[in-house]
């Protein structure tokens, strides 16, 4: 059996070609992280923007964040609780934070794409929670929005540590409505069912993108 049949991330790739960029997004509590894991299980390289931010909060971004928000770090790391308390309801503070973090995430993303191209991956996934909100959808060849009914989203979100109704409402207000995200999507992955159902949708999406043209500018 050929490598292309064994690994969907290699399908149709002859080496050195630009990979097809499949962007994955979804609102809070929709199950995006689980969907990303299923793409990784299918052999597709995944760039996790949240994981990059976590690493930056423990390394490269710490000095700049401390300068911008004194007292928001401790022991060489960002205190996420303190930082969240500063920026959650302050649009100007959030914009200052994004001006620090977003360029560093962009560098990580470009490095990931270059490595994927070098390795011969035909498809990669960029896991970007605020894809539309940050105007990053222009870098995608296709977009997958992970979605579930509002009651499922609410239940999942409130199960998270430190989450309450007020915080949930505040975070949701900063995100594009789910209906609008679904409208802009090339694929909608329904995460309200079983893991097996989600995995089957991942496989269907990967088969579909194998016949789609790249459209990035």
Mapping DSSP to helix (H, G, I), strand (E, B) and coil, where does residue 7 land? coil
d(CA 164, CA 167): 5
CA 160 to chain centre: 18
Beta carbons within 8 Å of 70's beta carbon, 6+ residues apart: none
Same domain, 34 and 67: no
The per-residue pLDDT for 16 is: 66
Mapping DSSP to helix (H, G, I), strand (E, B) and coil, where does residue 67 land? helix
Same domain, 91 and 156: no
The per-residue pLDDT for 217 is: 53
Same domain, 205 and 126: yes
Same domain, 1 and 107: no
DSSP state of 195: H
CATH code (residue 57): 3.40.50.300
Same domain, 126 and 41: yes
Sign of CA dihedral 23, 142, 112, 124: positive
Tokens (6 digits) for 76: 């060489």
The per-residue pLDDT for 108 is: 96
Domain count, the chain: 2
Residue 95: domain span: 50-120
In a domain, 77, yes or no: yes
The per-residue pLDDT for 197 is: 97
The whole model's pTM is what?
Answer: 0.86
Same domain, 131 and 80: no
pLDDT means over runs of 10, the chain (217 residues):
42 66 96 96 96 95 96 94 88 92 94 96 96 92 97 95 89 91 97 97 96 80
């Amino acid at each position: 059996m050929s490598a292309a049949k064994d690994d969907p991330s290699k399908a149709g790739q002859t080496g050195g070609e630009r990979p097809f960029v499949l962007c994955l997004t979804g609102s809070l509590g929709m199950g995006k992280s689980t969907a990303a894991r299923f793409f990784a299980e299918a052999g597709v390289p995944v760039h996790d923007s949240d994981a990059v931010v976590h690493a930056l909060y423990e390394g490269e971004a710490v000095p700049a964040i401390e300068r911008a928000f004194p007292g928001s770090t401790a022991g060489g790391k960002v205190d996420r609780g303190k930082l969240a308390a500063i920026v959650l309801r302050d649009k100007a503070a959030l914009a200052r934070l994004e001006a620090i973090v977003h360029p560093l995430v962009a560098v990580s993303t470009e490095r990931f794409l270059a490595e994927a191209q070098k390795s011969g991956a035909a498809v990669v996934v960029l896991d970007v929670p605020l894809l539309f909100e940050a105007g990053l959808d222009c870098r995608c060849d296709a977009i997958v929005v992970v979605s579930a009914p509002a009651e499922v989203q609410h239940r999942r979100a409130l199960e998270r540590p430190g989450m309450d109704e007020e915080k949930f409402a505040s975070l949701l207000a900063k995100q594009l409505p789910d209906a609008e995200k679904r409208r802009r999507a090339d694929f909608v992955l329904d995460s309200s069912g079983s893991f097996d159902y989600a995995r089957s949708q991942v496989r269907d999406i990967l088969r579909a993108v194998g016949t789609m043209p790249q459209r990035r500018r």
